[in-house]
Chain A
Amino acid sequence: MNRRRTDILIRATLIVALLVVCLNAWLAFRSVKILNDSQYWVAQTWQVIDTLERVIGSLKSAETGYRGFLVTGDSAYLAPYKSAVQEIPREFDELTSLTVDNPKRQDKIAAMRALVDKRIAVLQSAMGRLEAGEKDKTGLLKQSGTGKAELDQLRAMTTSMQREEQRLLVQRVAESHRARADSQLTILVVTVVDILLIALVLWLLNRERVLRRRTAATADRLAKLQSVIDVGLTKLSLAELIHSLLDRLGNVIGADGSVFCHWRDGEIEVAESSGVKATIGKRFKLEPGNPLYEAGSSRKLVTVEGGSAEIVPLEGMRREMHAILVLPILVSGEVAALLIAGRRENAFVNPDEDLLTFVADRIGMALDRAKIYEDEREARRLAEQSTAEVQLLNEELEERVQLRTAELAASNRELEAFSYSVSHDLRAPLRSIDGFSLALEEDFAHIMNAEGRDYIRRIRSGVQKMGQLIDALLQLSRITRSDLSREQVNISEIAADVARDLRAENPDRNLVFRIEPDLEANADPGLLRVALENLLGNAVKFSAHHSEALIEFGRSPETGEFFVRDNGAGFDMQYVDKLFHAFQRLHGERDFKGSGIGLATVSRVIQRHQGKIRAEGAVDQGATFWFTLG
């Protein structure tokens, strides 16, 4: 808008200036014309006067010639007369032509001509008479007169005209002077105005040029700025960012080569270079006074050239560059890097500090962002790596678990084979022993005494015990390797069922079972039954010396533990740890028969359910077994 107005103004001013020049020319031309006209008029006046004088002279000559001839009769006087008579019309013609543009004068000249013509005519007639031989010369003279009156009249007319012309001349000269003075003034004024106008145009043009140059510079600056900002926007990895920044910054500040260094407490590490050799990763410790150190510690742009540039530690820069510019780059308010740019020949003249500072800020921000991005990426990479490691570990673990499972399966198979072997092979000889003992008793009882028969009975009793032991061991091993299949079971019903069996097995015992009804548990019913058989069986067994055995089953309302309590022999709490181990017995075989495997089996069942079992008791005070089922 402004520029258009300026354009219009310039054009208008130019047109006005041109018009003024034309006016000037016209004025000059006019004044010259006025001058010329005046001079012409002056010259014409003089010419008219001169011609009139000549007319008077000619008339005088004619008068003199006539009179001479009249008096003397000498024809020698005829020559001037004749030439004068001839001359006079010509002179009048001349006058007429001279005054053609002045009718007033022409009138006067015509009057003069008439006067002269009349006199000439008088003279001509007198001459004619003379030539014809007129002798009356006096009469003739008298008749013709002297012509003095005509001459005087003529002279008077001429003088009047002269006077008129004189007056006109003075007037014209004054007019001419005035015109000249006017012209001079006008030209002067117009010229001054013109000069002013041209000066205005020139000023406007210059102003325009400066504006244009400034606009171009601003546009250039903006473009450079944009190029740098673009980098910050598009490059996300730190290395890429630095690389692109170097390239573009070189452009922005007109550098031939540049190096980007990380900065930390007066130490720099070369990160990237462009257009100049530099060893990436090389570190330098800077001393105060070094331009790099100054730029880094003062956080200000530093430029050096010539000898001062020699201190720069970067060899390529030092050797190749004449002038060096150091731009500190701040990240989160701290100097994080230095941008070192060099020029081979010229110094950095008036580096655009505002632009560079702004660019440095932007680079700082971009670096910060890139760093955050890289940190994040690194964190993600680490996370991924650790995930991968975890996965690897998991796989290893899985592998190991599989291996262990396979080992376990193998050992289970071995155990199965072993149990099979136990159940089959250990029992087979027992059966033979028992069978042949019986055969011995049946077939040879008549040749044996009572002692012999007692031995056979003991043999068979030992075989029975051994058979029971084998069965108990088999049960323990089976519990260990069987699958646990939990379901909601009525544990009270199982307990009641077991109690019923026990009562049936011991018809001669006074057994009182007190079973809390409808207790539920989530457990394997088969294993639970084995546990209850053993626990209730133990209770029955160890209360054998009491006339009335009171056996309770229930659940503690406080702890939620199930319990089996009896009023039997109990045990000494100091041996409680041995209770649940296989083949550990707290009572002698003589007092209570047993395999020593029952409680170990119970403990195994509870363990399989991830439950806990504990025992409380005192000698002859009965025992209580508490258990949970996980």
Chain B
Amino acid sequence: MAEPAKTILLIEDDSDHELLTIRALRKANIANEIAIARDGEEALDLLFGNGEGALKTCPQVVLLDLKLPKIDGLEVLRRIRENERTRMLPVVILTSSDEESDIIRSYRLGVNSYIRKPVNFTEFAEATRQLGMYWLVLNECPPSNN
């Protein structure tokens, strides 16, 4: 599969944050295709569905918000880890919550990274840039990813 085809799946219900996250990624020169899911159900459809909106290939990384309509982020994470196909998929939680319980539960479910979105957007942009660099450029995905 060609390099640019590496997709980022962003699961985010807040359109402002969606826009700002995409802007931050682009500002960090990350040109990968970004698929958007606005709630948990949509995310699961994209990942496992057979419909026309479903992703043809597995994304390179999933950026997951915890607080989502319909099916919440932790449940989406659980489904991803349950499925043989997506078991090794890198998942990064991007959330406003710094609740200890959320962090613990996320790691228990096998999240790869947990990032609390700072209020200060400069900090957030920096975090996003590092994130993209790490997961998309530096990190070698396991071969079973596709």
Contacts and interface: CB of A to CB of B under 8 A. Distances in A.
The judgment on whether A and B are partners is yes
Given A431-B20, A435-B20, A436-B20, A423 B97 contact: yes
A431 B95 contact: no
Interface string B1-37: 0000000000000101100100100000000000000
Contacts of A463: 119-120
Contacts, number: 64
A432 B117 contact: no
Given A424-B67, A436-B16, A439-B23, A431 B99 contact: no
A435 B122 CA distance: 8
B contact residues, range: 20 to 34
A467 interface: yes
Interface string B91-134: 00001111100100000000000000111111011000000000
B119 A434 contact: yes
Interface string A404-426: 00000000000000011001110
A195 interface: no
Count chain A CB atoms within 10 A of each CB in B95, B117, B121 and give the residue with the most: B121
Contacts of A428: 14, 16-17, 96
Interface in A97-141: none
Contacts of A438: 121-122, 125
Contacts of A387: none
Interface residues of A, number: 23
A430 interface: yes
A529 interface: no
Count chain B CB atoms within 10 A of each CB in A428, A430, A463, A466 and give the residue with the most: A428
A438 B124 CA distance: 11
Interface of A is mostly: helix
A429 B96 CA distance: 10
Contacts of B124: 431, 435
A434 B121 contact: yes
A474 B97 CA distance: 11
Nearest to B23: A439
A424 B96 contact: yes
Interface string A85-97: 0000000000000
B128 to A, nearest CB: 11
Contacts of A460: 120
Contacts of A419: 99
Contacts of B20: 431-432, 435-436, 439
Contacts of B95: 424
Contacts of B96: 423-425, 427-428, 431
Interface string B40-51: 000000000000
A464 interface: yes
A498 to B, nearest CB: 20
B135 to A, nearest CB: 21
A420 B97 contact: yes
Given A425-B67, A438-B121, A439-B23, 8 more contacts: A423-B97, A424-B97, A425-B96, A432-B17, A435-B16, A436-B16, A463-B120, A464-B120
Interface of A: 419-420, 423-425, 427-432, 434-439, 460, 463-464, 466-467, 474
12 contacts: A420-B99, A423-B97, A428-B16, A431-B117, A431-B124, A432-B17, A432-B20, A434-B120, A438-B121, A438-B122, A439-B121, A463-B120
